[in-house]
Structure 1
Amino acid sequence: MKINKTNAARLLDKAGITYELIPYEVDESDLSAVHVAASLGENIDQVFKTLILHGDKSGYFVCVVPGEKEVNLKMAAKASGNKNCELIPMKELLPTTGYIRGACSPVGMKKHFPTYIHHTCLDFPYIYVSAGQRGLQIKVAPKELINEVKAEVCTLFDE
């Protein structure tokens, strides 16, 4: 099966980053990272989801967290230099990032936003993030991803 490269994959190629594009079966009724991890047969702690938040001081920013975790808004606000923040409404996702729900990649958004990734990513030789389309994940070394998206490693939920 030929896998068409996404914009996120082309950007990783341009940066000289080693990665794999991994397809999975999409379930339109369940776009969760838990479903993605199950489809890939991978540990849910290695399948990260990309969330877009809006802070009262910084504006838009990105949080990348393990798939079944919920970002702690107070911790995300603190990490990003805001007093408070909230997830953006779904209708703002495509115009803000260029991505749709279930396919939001931390790589290759319409513009670069400050990005924060949960520190457990460093516990693994590789993690998965969306490749920018439903049914396709990028398998990449966390340090490579962190460098490419200029992410700050921090704590984004209570452990």
Structure 2
Amino acid sequence: MASDKTNVMRVLEQHRIAYTAHTYPHGKEAVDGVSVAQLLGQDPAQVFKTLVARGRSGGCYVFVIPVACELDLKKAAKAAGEKSVELVHVKELLGLTGYVRGGCSPVGMKKAFPTVFDESVHAVSTVMVSAGKIGWQIECAPSDLLELTRAATAPLTLDQ
């Protein structure tokens, strides 16, 4: 099983963070997050997706929100201290982060970008994020993930 370890898992182990790895069946394409939650039998409120945006200043930011929610770009800009933010194009993702769409994790990116989790992360006992590879998720304590990624929390989603 050691060869199945992703970079995300290695980073968590380096920092002695307890986690549980989960896998789900998938094809070549990314599976939407709600489907991932269903495949894993998890509450979508506990499964978070990682989005990368660029601020008007040119800086990149990472926003981590529940899979069933949509990022509110105005709230994201406010949380980042920017006038506005736009999601980066999918073609830029690998070069910026080292991850592909559907396998993007807030842990272990090529560069540590300012990271903000949706404040709802405080309401869950464990949080799941991508393990850096399509078909793989890691589950751990929100406080460990926030500390490791030096993340802030803020309201980030469109009001449902």
TM-score, with structure 1 as normaliser: 0.95
User: Which residue in 2 is equivalent to 1:117?
Assistant: 117
Q: Following superposition, which runs of at least 4 residues in structure 1 exceed 3 angstroms of deviation?
A: 27-30
For residue 31 of structure 1, what is the amino acid of its counterpart?
A: V
CA deviation map 1:79-126 (0-9, x unaligned): 001000100001000000000011000000001000000011111110
For residue 17 of structure 1, what is the amino acid of its counterpart?
A: I
For residue 56 of structure 1, what is the amino acid of its counterpart?
A: R
For residue 49 of structure 1, what is the amino acid of its counterpart?
A: K
Q: Is the 8 A contact 2:30 2:134 kept in 1?
A: no
Kindly report which structure 2 residues correspond to 1:33-44, keeping only aligned pairs within 5 A, or say none: 33-44=33-44
Q: Is the 8 A contact 1:22 1:137 kept in 2?
A: yes
Q: Secondary structure at the match of 1:44?
A: coil
User: Which residue in 2 is equivalent to 1:72?
Assistant: 72
User: Which residue in 1 is equivalent to 2:20?
Assistant: 20
Unaligned runs of 5+ in 1: none
For residue 131 of structure 1, what is the amino acid of its counterpart?
A: A
Structure 2 Cα separation of the partners of residues 100 and 30 of structure 1: 9
CA deviation map 1:63-88 (0-9, x unaligned): 00000111000000010010001000
Q: Please provide the CA RMSD for this pair.
A: 1.2
Once the two structures are TM-superposed, the CA of residue 158 in structure 1 deviates from its matched residue by: 3.5
Kindly report which structure 2 residues correspond to 1:10-159, keeping only aligned pairs within 5 A, or say none: 10-28=10-28, 31-57=31-57, 59-159=59-159
Q: Is the 8 A contact 1:58 1:80 kept in 2?
A: no
For residue 33 of structure 2, what is the amino acid of its counterpart?
A: A
Q: Is the 8 A contact 2:56 2:83 kept in 1?
A: yes
Q: Percent identity?
A: 42
Change (3 A) 1:44 1:27: farther
Once the two structures are TM-superposed, the CA of residue 28 in structure 1 deviates from its matched residue by: 4.0
Q: Is the 8 A contact 1:58 1:81 kept in 2?
A: no
For residue 83 of structure 2, what is the amino acid of its counterpart?
A: K
Structure 2 Cα separation of the partners of residues 33 and 140 of structure 1: 17
Once the two structures are TM-superposed, the CA of residue 30 in structure 1 deviates from its matched residue by: 5.5
For residue 50 of structure 2, what is the amino acid of its counterpart?
A: T
Q: Secondary structure at the match of 1:158?
A: coil
Once the two structures are TM-superposed, the CA of residue 46 in structure 1 deviates from its matched residue by: 0.6
Structure 1 Cα separation of the partners of residues 101 and 119 of structure 2: 24
Structure 1 Cα separation of the partners of residues 58 and 17 of structure 2: 29
Structure 2 Cα separation of the partners of residues 103 and 113 of structure 1: 17
Structure 2 Cα separation of the partners of residues 57 and 50 of structure 1: 21
Q: Is the 8 A contact 2:26 2:134 kept in 1?
A: yes
Q: Size of the alignment, in residue pairs? A: 158
TM-score, with structure 2 as normaliser: 0.95
Once the two structures are TM-superposed, the CA of residue 34 in structure 1 deviates from its matched residue by: 0.7
